[in-house]
Every structure is written in C-alpha cells, then in structure tokens.
A = this chain, B = another copy of it.
C-alpha cells in the first residue's frame, strides 16, 4: 500500500534510527524515552530528550509572509516545549530545564523579531505550567545562521527530566486486561485559551502539501523542497474559514500542541501504581503504543471521534485510512494504559481539567512481539 506521507518524504516508522540502539546508554530499552543512569545520583534516572516542531515552522513562515504578522511563530514555542514535556512525562519524569535550537535562513527572516516571538512563547508557557506546579528552567540555547542548510527555519528543543528509578514507567508492567484510555488532542481544556484542531506536530508535511494552495509554492518557492518530485496540491488559502473545523485552515494547522503533562502529573500523583504505560502519540500516530510493553496486543475498538482536520486531510490527500492512523494522532493525543479498576478515577481526573478522555481499548497477550488492532468506522487495521 502506497503511503502519501512516504511520497511526501517522511518515514513514520523511522527506519534507520535502530543503528543507534546498541550505543545508547538506556536503563530501560522498552520504555517510551531513553532513561540514562545519573552517575552522581544513583537513585535517579536522567531523561534528556530532544524533539522539534516538525515542519510546522514552514506553515508559520507562510502565514507570516502572507500577513506580515510575526505572531504566527509564537505557537512554535509551545510546540517544542509540549513535544518534549509530554514525551518525558511518559516515563514518569519531572522536568528540570530546557534549551532551544533555532536554525534559520537569515536572508528570509528577521531574526530578532522571530526570537522575540519565541521568547514570548516560552515565557507565557513556562508561566502557565508553573501555575500547574510544573517548573521548567530555561537554560538558553543556540541560534544558528545556516542559509545553505535551512530554507526558512527549524525550531527544536532539548529538555531534561529526572525520575526516581523504582518509579520509572517502563511499560514492562503492561498486561492482559489493562485498559487504554485515550486523551483528546483537539478541543479546549480549562487551562487553554483557544480551541485546538488536534493536529499536534506530526503529519504536517503531508497536511501542508495536500491542503495549502498550489499558488503558494510559486509565490514562495522556499516553502517546498525537492519541487521536482513533489508539490502542493491543495485547494485552500491559509485564511479560508472551514465550517467543519470551526476555524480558518491555517489556524488549524498551527494549533499548538497540547500540554498533556498537567493531567499526567496529576494522574501519576493519584494513581501511579495502577499506571502501566503512557504513550504520547507523536511520530507514528496511533501506532506509537507498539514501542512499549512486551508481547502485548493492543486493541483499540472504541476510539474518540476523529477530529475534522484529519477527515479533511484524508479527503484531500486520499491517504489510505490505515496510514492515516500512522501519520496522525487522529484525535487521540495521549494514551494511558492502566488497571481497569482505576479507569473511572482516571477519566474523572482528566475531565476535571476539561480534557476529554475515554476508554478506547484494551490489552491482550500477543504470541510474539507487540501488535495493534484498530477497529474504526473506517475499517479494521492491523499493525506490528
């Protein structure tokens, strides 16, 4: 089966990165994040995590070019913070600090104005998280002028977290009968100011190409690499209001990634012993759970409603539905694998934050390696 996303240049299975596996100092190779022994504090694991906003900066760039408004870049600060914070929370780590890395083409972007927006974004978000008891220090970072490498800009960050070794959520405790609770990527929680499309930071390369109007690539050739092999084939201008989305399409594409960490930290505080796995549905989308646990058959048969942004992307790109669940989070941004006895309590903890949550499936035993069955309104799909 051809994947439109693979044709667009992104391999959701990340083939190739396995070459690092043997070299990495990882105490729990089956956990969601690398946990490294801290030589100075033997009782703690250090979780140093790095991730970017994917190709979302290109969309922000496009909207800035069209409007002259640098504020479109601000959400990228939340994106890179959330990418990293949500990820490290999956092993139960508490954040310490972060650095950013901005690689840019100085011929294209006013660096100072860009950095001002990112700085405002970091400041606002760190303040918000502090209100929820999550303190993250900002340790600076690097801004690199790289006109020969970077067409527009790339934004990433590295975050450190720390976790007591006996408390690491390793995924090894996942067992037959555990439930999978899905936390929604779209909508609006009590700690957010705006409705979110649910897109997060993965699948953006496909989403941009299939949605954004082809005239943009002529107007701004710098937004498209390898233009001999691929193209924009969208029908929309960034400011087209789409009724089913309830927002302009550009806003939907730039919806900053939700912080799941406030909810996850509360869940861990109240129910840690019942939690066997935590999964942030980034690269790999809903198949991300395959990365943790051992010989588990994940069965998701009662998913959250698929948000309209994903339906629109599917309609425009004709990406097969099976791939859609690998390319995108499809409405489920985060998964909590837990003892079924705690399910009600977990759902109510999430809902107290205004974050929609639902038991979307369960775990069975698999004969060998992990597998995943998704039973959706679009068909039943198997992954391994």
Contacts and interface: CB of A to CB of B under 8 A. Distances in A.
A7 to B, nearest CB: 11
Interface string A135-160: 10111111111111111111010101
How many chain copies does the complex carry? 2
Interface string A15-40: 11101100111100000001011111
A148 B55 contact: yes
A9 interface: yes
A264 to B, nearest CB: 20
Interface string A84-116: 000000000000111111010111000110111
A223 interface: yes
A294 interface: no
Contacts of A137: 25, 36-37, 39
Contact of A152 (B10, B99, B139, B149): B149
Contacts of A103: 52, 103, 154, 156
Interface stretch (A42-50, A317-325, A357-365): A42-50
B142 A156 contact: yes
A52 B142 contact: yes
Contact of A55 (B24, B107, B149): B149
Given A19-B119, A52-B103, A137-B25, A40 B162 contact: yes
Contacts of A144: 52, 54, 156
Contact of A50 (B38, B158, B229): B158
Contacts of A37: 137
B139 A149 contact: no
Nearest to A83: B142
A57 interface: yes
A14 interface: yes
A205 B148 contact: yes
A111 B16 contact: yes
B20 A115 contact: yes
A123 interface: yes
A99 B52 CA distance: 13
Nearest to A141: B50
A11 interface: yes
A123 B24 contact: no
A19 to B, nearest CB: 5
Contacts of A38: 96
A25 to B, nearest CB: 4
A149 B11 contact: no
Would you list the 5 A-B pairs with minimal beta carbon distance, nearest first? A16-B112, A158-B158, A9-B147, A16-B111, A25-B137
Given A17-B115, A40-B96, A50-B158, 6 more contacts: A9-B145, A14-B143, A16-B143, A20-B115, A20-B119, A57-B149
Interface of A: 8-11, 14-17, 19-20, 23-26, 34, 36-41, 44, 46-52, 54-55, 57-58, 96-101, 103, 105-107, 111-112, 114-116, 119, 122-123, 135, 137-154, 156, 158, 160, 162, 205, 208, 223-226, 229-230
